[in-house]
Chain A
Amino acid sequence: MSRLLVCPPEFFGIEYEINPWMRLTNRVDHGRAVRQWHELMRVFEQDLGVVLERMTPIPGLPDLVFTANAGIVVGRTAVVSRFRYPERQREEAHFENWFRKHGYEVMTGEAGIHFEGAGDLLGFPEYWFGGYRQRSDIRVFPILSEHFHREIIPLELVDSRFYHLDTCFCPLSGGELLYFPAAFDSYGQTAIAERVPDKLRLTVPEDEALKFACNAVCVGKHVVLPAGCPTTQAWLRIRGYETHPVQLDEFMRSGGSAKCLTLALD
């Protein structure tokens, strides 16, 4: 059974601008955001049977809701993020506390080497991909690779709208991949194409990529993704996945969607 770490959006809002989606003038409809988040949780718990671990939200930390950036969890080890921007660095201690309280062996990275957790480290069981340049520092991947004995292929993110790897890249349980190639440079596109065969790769159309179609959560043969991505949904269904679109546009104002709002614990 899957377990996800989430954080209720009590204090979610836009209080600073650290990515091209965030505009202080673009106010979040708080009530609507809360309703969207609860609907997402309902899909996970009721439709997919996922176990949710809820963190306590903290006033003044509007992005704590994006638990994908807490760190990464591998077995009983949690690697806590080292955020690039000071605005989010204050979240680190809270994520670390949560991991410690829940019995994880906590690994903290070297100061000065930024790493934004599962937002920038995704993959298949045998090997992972690491997004760098926008938020995470490429130097973190050799360290994690050595610790977890896993190959990590770094991919440079070249479009600031796709500032985390999980905004443009989504590996699925059957070995397929949803991705938006233009978010990567030609070296990254070649590296991806050499690893994932053509027929297993879906190039998400730009309009759906901009709705964060790739910011999807795959649980077995189910994929939870933002609403309004018909091409992506159709392809997923052909590949045998059951799709669960959820309206999450209030979170898109902050540059986040389904995947950003969860962290896989097991």
Chain B
Amino acid sequence: MSHYQESVYLQGHIIDSLVLAKVLDLILMMGGTFDLEDVHIGKTRAEPSHARIRIRTASRMLLDDILRKIQPHGASIEREADCRTDRAPADGVLPDDFYATTHLPTQIRLNGRWLDVDRIEMDLAITVNEAGSVAQAVPMGEVRQGDQIVVGREGVRVIPLQRPQERDVFGFMESQVSAERPHGHIIADIAARMRQLKERRSLRQTDSHVLLSGGPAIIHAGGREALTWLIEQGFIHILFCGNALAAHDMEADLFGTSLGYGLTAGRAVPHGHEHHLRTINRIRSIGSIEAAVTSGVIKQGVMAACIRQGVPMVISGTIRDDGPLPGVITDSIQAQRAMRALIPDIGLALLVASTLHSVATGNLLPATVPTVCVDVNPSIPTKLADRGSFQAVGLVMDAASFLSELARLLGRST
């Protein structure tokens, strides 16, 4: 994170004298940005005004320069305190007054220095190593007795997201989700991002992975070929899904159906409802999805593409799963842990046609990751897009149409 910031306080007759305007102009002219916080304008001429200004810069040196320049105009640096920590009383138990995180970039102040909190995620605590040199977000269940945990709010600051520099669909607050809006330009922007990320990933740059978290409707609705193509072409690098997507994908390969519907015929086939159970049983007898693909039993589809491309998958189980397939993680906390391990390098998240996996993934993602949520039910994109992030886009549309259009824009011939 390249955020350097300091809060200053300005008081007196700062409005009519234009001292506030001058200080803000100075900050901007020197290349910093600011947020005005707690502005109070005196109600009478005699009553003074005051303003708290949070200044942000890309470098420490620029921040110091700006502070030096604005101090003669009365801007005083707020006295800041270090954060407080307390020991975790037992494994999996946080101190009473623990600080609960947001998904926004966060810093804590230790020994007079602001430290970035690594692996930020909403609804976690913050742990600090013994040397006081590393701060990391930690889930409640992972805490060990005696860990130093940040308590209270003092010495903790959350950095609001900067509007991204790219002038695409992610550059605007798009929390308003509607089925009545055209989707074309949004999908085009997503495709452009994916092209950039593929390029960045080939150069081994950070934050270059594309995650797809999807539900079985992708297969039911006919998005299987498009998704397979996207994985094979190296546009998708991580897959989160449940038992159903994997089962129906392989059902389609073995039987040509998805939940018993003939994918090409478009109607239910006799005894088709058994196909997914027979598929799961078949893979269970082989031992793993990977073995099913490498042995040639499963030839095509999303699972086959992931195995061949080395795309890591986290398949999380739910309470109503059949089987499940081998490799499905049925302990939710373990599944969370496996998903969390793949979060750090994600540069774009596509959450497609799954309430459960979309919400679970959304909760794990820092606000800085551009996120697209696609569902035919507007409540899901609305819930996810409205996360106080500039970078969440909701699309109310069918999964297959979305994936097909995306693949077409990325060069798939139809």
Cβ–Cβ contact A195 & B21, under 8 A: no
Q: Which of B1-42 contact A (CB under 8 A)?
A: 11-14, 16-19, 21-22
Which residues does chain A contribute within 8 Å of B48, judged by CB atoms? Answer: 142, 145-146
Nearest residue, chain A, Cβ from B49: A142
Which residues does chain A contribute within 8 Å of B12, judged by CB atoms? Answer: 138, 141-142, 145, 152, 154
Q: Which of A120-156 contact B (CB under 8 A)?
A: 126-127, 132-133, 138-139, 141-142, 145-146, 149-156
A187 in complex: contacting residue of B11, B17, B46, B76, CB < 8 Å: B17
**Count of chain A to chain B residue pairs whose CB atoms are closer than 8 Å in the complex:** 57
Per-residue interface assignment for chain A, residues 181 to 197, with 1 indicating a CB less than 8 Å from any chain B CB and 0 otherwise: 00001011011001100
Which residues does chain A contribute within 8 Å of B72, judged by CB atoms? Answer: 132-133, 138
Which residues does chain B contribute within 8 Å of A188, judged by CB atoms? Answer: 17-18
Which residues does chain A contribute within 8 Å of B76, judged by CB atoms? Answer: 139
The reply to whether the CB of B45 lies closer than 8 angstroms to some CB of chain A is: yes
Chain A nearest Cβ from B21, distance in angstroms: 6
The reply to whether the CB of B163 lies closer than 8 angstroms to some CB of chain A is: no
Interface residues of B (CB under 8 A from A): 11-14, 16-19, 21-22, 45-46, 48, 72-74, 76
Chain A nearest Cβ from B189, distance in angstroms: 42
Chain B nearest Cβ from A19, distance in angstroms: 18
Q: Is the interface of A mostly helix, strand, loop or mixed?
A: mixed
CA distance A142 to B40 in the complex (A): 14
Beyond A133-B72, A191-B16, whether A151 also contacts B46 by CB under 8 A is yes
Number of chain A residues close to chain B: CB under 8 A: 25
Knowing that A146-B48, A152-B13, A187-B22 are A-B contacts, what are 7 other residue pairs whose CB atoms are under 8 Å apart, sorted by A's residue number? A139-B74, A145-B13, A154-B17, A156-B22, A187-B19, A187-B21, A191-B18
A190 in complex: contacting residue of B13, B18, B46, CB < 8 Å: B18
Cβ–Cβ contact B17 & A150, under 8 A: no
Beyond A146-B48, A187-B19, A190-B18, whether A153 also contacts B13 by CB under 8 A is yes
Per-residue interface assignment for chain A, residues 145 to 169, with 1 indicating a CB less than 8 Å from any chain B CB and 0 otherwise: 1100111111110000000000000
Which residues does chain A contribute within 8 Å of B21, judged by CB atoms? Answer: 187
List 7 A–B pairs whose Cβ atoms lie within 8 Å, in order of A's numbering. Answer: A138-B73, A138-B74, A141-B12, A142-B12, A155-B17, A187-B17, A188-B18
Beyond A139-B76, A187-B21, A187-B22, whether A153 also contacts B46 by CB under 8 A is no
Most buried by B among A127, A146, A151: A151
B16 in complex: contacting residue of A149, A185, A194, CB < 8 Å: A194
Most buried by A among B17, B19, B45, B72: B17
Cβ–Cβ contact B18 & A187, under 8 A: yes
Which residues does chain A contribute within 8 Å of B45, judged by CB atoms? Answer: 126-127, 151
Which residues does chain B contribute within 8 Å of A126, judged by CB atoms? Answer: 45
Nearest residue, chain B, Cβ from A155: B17
- 10 closest residue pairs by CB, A with B: A142-B12, A187-B18, A138-B74, A153-B17, A151-B45, A187-B22, A154-B17, A191-B17, A142-B11, A149-B46
CA distance A191 to B12 in the complex (A): 14
Chain B nearest Cβ from A156, distance in angstroms: 7
CA distance A185 to B46 in the complex (A): 24
Cβ–Cβ contact B73 & A156, under 8 A: yes
CA distance A152 to B76 in the complex (A): 18
CA distance A150 to B12 in the complex (A): 11
CA distance A142 to B72 in the complex (A): 14
Nearest residue, chain A, Cβ from B25: A187
Cβ–Cβ contact A195 & B16, under 8 A: yes
Chain A nearest Cβ from B25, distance in angstroms: 8
CA distance A107 to B245 in the complex (A): 79
CA distance A185 to B16 in the complex (A): 14
Nearest residue, chain A, Cβ from B23: A187
Cβ–Cβ contact B73 & A153, under 8 A: no
